[in-house]
Amino acid sequence: EAQVTQNPRYLITVTGKKLTVTCSQNMNHEYMSWYRQDPGLGLRQIYYSMNVEVTDKGDVPEGYKVSRKEKRNFPLILESPSPNQTSLYFCASSRTGTGGGGYTFGSGTRLTVV
Amino acid sequence: DQQVKQNSPSLSVQEGRISILNCDYTNSMFDYFLWYKKYPAEGPTFLISISSIKDKNEDGRFTVFLNKSAKHLSLHIVPSQPGDSAVYFCAAYDYNFNKFYFGSGTKLNVKP
């Protein structure tokens, strides 16, 4: 089954404790991206990657890091989480340049930073 | 500044009637417009899209209309079913930046 898999689904952590949210896709997509969803703000892009070893900032990159060492994996790293990073996070992938087909999204990771 | 806006946070419709969800955008260079549907505890799923060179696209009960002069698109669901109750996100795609811009979502409630 074609899918994007995120882990964990739920995470509660404390301020300053480094964490990683994993994302993996099995569709051989070149393009991968991370979004956060907040009430009234919709989906905002954090980082994206157009292919292996190519990453770039989205609209809200502060406090986040990513890496793309393999085509299928695109982990999101929070080096020192803060309460304002409490949010619902989605990883997504697509073939590059296929805007009409849209993204395939993961099921989401609900992060709470206390 | 949001380039894609959904001004109605929620919409309630009776089963069997038409649901109309609206979306406005600011950038006339967008290449595609898309609608996603999101159930609680799940990721958004792609529903339907329309190219910027068209004004209508239909897929079963779902039709998307694009009015480029007004920079407005809408999603019509006919007839509405209780299973359509979800949050609907409008999105626009910019080919030059390979980027999607999302609206804030409209929560649709279809009452039996």
**With a CB-CB cutoff of 8 Å, which residues 80-99 of chain B face chain A?**
89, 91, 93-95, 98-99
First to last CA, chain A: 36
Instruction: Note whether A31 contacts B: Cβ–Cβ < 8 A.
Output: yes
CA distance A21 to B39: 21
Instruction: Note whether A88 contacts B: Cβ–Cβ < 8 A.
Output: no
Give the pLDDT band (50/70/90) at residue B64. Answer: very high
Are A96 and B98 a contacting pair at CB < 8 A? Answer: yes
Q: How large is the average pLDDT for residues B58-69?
A: 97
Q: Pairing mode, if any, of strands A109-113 and A10-13?
A: parallel
Residue B106 has pLDDT above 90, yes or no: yes
Size of interface A-B (CB pairs under 8 A): 66
First to last CA, chain B: 38
Give B12-39 pLDDT, tens digit per residue. 999 999 999 999 999 999 989 999 999 9
CA distance A11 to B84: 29
Residue A102 has pLDDT above 90, yes or no: no
Are A102 and B36 a contacting pair at CB < 8 A? Answer: yes
Instruction: Note whether A114 contacts B: Cβ–Cβ < 8 A.
Output: no
Instruction: Note whether A32 contacts B: Cβ–Cβ < 8 A.
Output: no
DSSP B35-98: EEEE-TTS--EEEEEEETT-SEEEETTEEEEEETTTTEEEEEESS--GGG-EEEEEEEEETTTT
Residue A1 has pLDDT above 70, yes or no: yes
Residue B98 has pLDDT above 80, yes or no: no
Question: Sign of torsion, CA A53 A79 A6 A42?
Answer: negative
- How confident is the prediction for chain B on average, in pLDDT? 94
Output the pLDDT for position A95: 82
Q: For A79, list phi and psi in degrees, rounded to 5.
A: -70, -40
Are A100 and B41 a contacting pair at CB < 8 A? Answer: no
CB of B88 within 8 A of CB of B99? no
Name residue, tokens 């301020």: A15
CA distance A106 to A104: 7
Q: Which residues of A touch B94 (CB under 8 A)?
A: 99
Q: Which of A37, A50, A95, A109 to mutate to test the interface with B (most CBs of B within 10 A)?
A: A37
Three-class SS state of A105: strand
Give the pLDDT band (50/70/90) at residue A97. Answer: low
Q: Which of A42, A96, A100 sits opposite B105 (nearest CB)?
A: A42
